[in-house]
Amino acid sequence: MRLRNQTWYPILYMFVLTLILSTILIVFGIFTHQRVEDNTRIAFERAVIEVLPIDLPDNISTNQVHQLYTQLIREPDSSSGTALRCIQADSFIAYALPIQGAGFWATIKGVIGIARDQKTVTGISFYEQNETPGLGGEIVNDAFRGQFVGKQLATGTVPLDIRMTTVPVDENSVHAITGATQTSMRLEEFLNAELTAWQQIITGKGK
């Protein structure tokens, strides 16, 4: 009787095929793991630098970003809570607070910059998101991010309000992205949770 006519042959064939494909995927993952980590680190460093109140050259390169990050950024300490510290010419100039939470489709990760007064927003940047292109994905664009610069953090559970475009904004609020209600709502939720927790830490109320 031919091998392929054996009742166990399909099972053996699928087992061997699955084993081969799984091995290929595992090996590929091992060889690309470091590259993925490096790309994530580069994206994070760029996000941190982008939210700081410093002059950046146009089309800044990855090497320049890393150099600036190494020169300016310090790890959090007891006075900065969970935020990184930006030190320029031996002077503290701003906080860089990492933020992350559930978006509409997947986790959104970013950084928000806050001036030394602990109230004025110096910028916001996102380095990981998978929101709908042309809708929620617009959070990475200057038109949306630029609204945050100069805004003041309120106290309480809503330091920054993200409002519908039909509602006027004030010093504590920005407009949502048109057509991306879910992304805007979810961003507002986790952004304010992160900011509130940070405010409580630096004021001693979170201890």
pLDDT tens per residue, range 24-66: 887 776 766 666 677 889 999 999 999 999 888 888 898 999 9
CA-wise closest residue to 163 among 138, 141, 145, 181 = 181
Domain edges within the chain:
45-202
Distance CA 22, CA 24 (A): 5
Indicate yes or no: pTM above 0.85: no
- The pLDDT score that the predictor gives to residue 207 is 47
CA-wise closest residue to 202 among 39, 40, 64, 81 = 81
- The pLDDT score that the predictor gives to residue 195 is 97
What are the residues whose beta carbons fall under 8 Å from the beta carbon of 87, sequence distance 6 or more?
A: 72, 73, 74, 93
Q: What one-character-per-residue DSSP string does 14-60 give? A: HHHHHHHHHHHHHHHHHHHHHHHHHHHHHHHHHHHHHTSSS---TT-
What are the residues whose beta carbons fall under 8 Å from the beta carbon of 178, sequence distance 6 or more?
A: 165
pLDDT mean by block of 10 residues, the chain; 207 residues: 67 80 77 72 95 88 92 94 94 97 96 97 97 95 96 94 95 96 96 96 73
Q: What one-character-per-residue DSSP string does 98-149 give? A: EEEEE-SSSEEEEEEEEETTSSBEEEEEEEE--PPTTTGGGGGSHHHHGGGT
- The pLDDT score that the predictor gives to residue 142 is 94
Partners of 87 in beta bridges? 92
N-to-C CA span, the chain: 76
- The pLDDT score that the predictor gives to residue 22 is 82
- The pLDDT score that the predictor gives to residue 105 is 95
Q: What is the dihedral of CA 42, 45, 46, 47, to 10 degrees?
A: 120
- The pLDDT score that the predictor gives to residue 133 is 94
Q: Are 97 and 114 in contact (CB under 8 A)?
A: yes
CA-wise closest residue to 114 among 156, 71, 160, 175 = 160
Which pair of structure tokens corresponds to residue 122?
A: 């110096």
Which pair of structure tokens corresponds to residue 194?
A: 């992160």
